[in-house]
Amino acid sequence: MNGGVAILLERMKTHPEEFFNHGSRWNNLIMDFERSLDPAEYKLLEEGIAKCRQEEFTQKVMGKLIGEEREDREVLNTGAVSGSVTLTTSGGAWTSPTITIPPTK
Q: Considering the domain boundaries, does residue 27 fall inside one?
A: yes
> Using an 8 Å Cβ cutoff, are 48 and 8 in contact?
yes
**pLDDT grade, residue 2 (50/70/90)?**
very high
pLDDT at 57 over 70: yes
Q: Considering the domain boundaries, does residue 50 fall inside one?
A: yes
Residues contacting 98, CB < 8 A, separation 6+: 82, 83, 84
In angstroms, the CA 90 to CA 77 distance is 38
Residues contacting 52, CB < 8 A, separation 6+: 12, 16, 17, 19, 20
Q: Model pTM greater than 0.75? A: no
Distance of CA 38 to the CA centre of its chain: 35
How does pLDDT run across 7-55, given as a tens digit for each residue? 999 999 999 989 988 778 899 999 999 999 999 999 999 999 999 999 9
Q: Considering the domain boundaries, does residue 92 fall inside one?
A: no
- How many domains would you assign to the chain? 1
Q: Considering the domain boundaries, does residue 93 fall inside one?
A: no
pLDDT given for residue 94 in this prediction:
54
pLDDT given for residue 101 in this prediction:
61
How does pLDDT run across 85-100, given as a tens digit for each residue? 555 556 655 555 555 5
- Residue 45's domain comprises 3-78
In angstroms, the CA 59 to CA 62 distance is 5
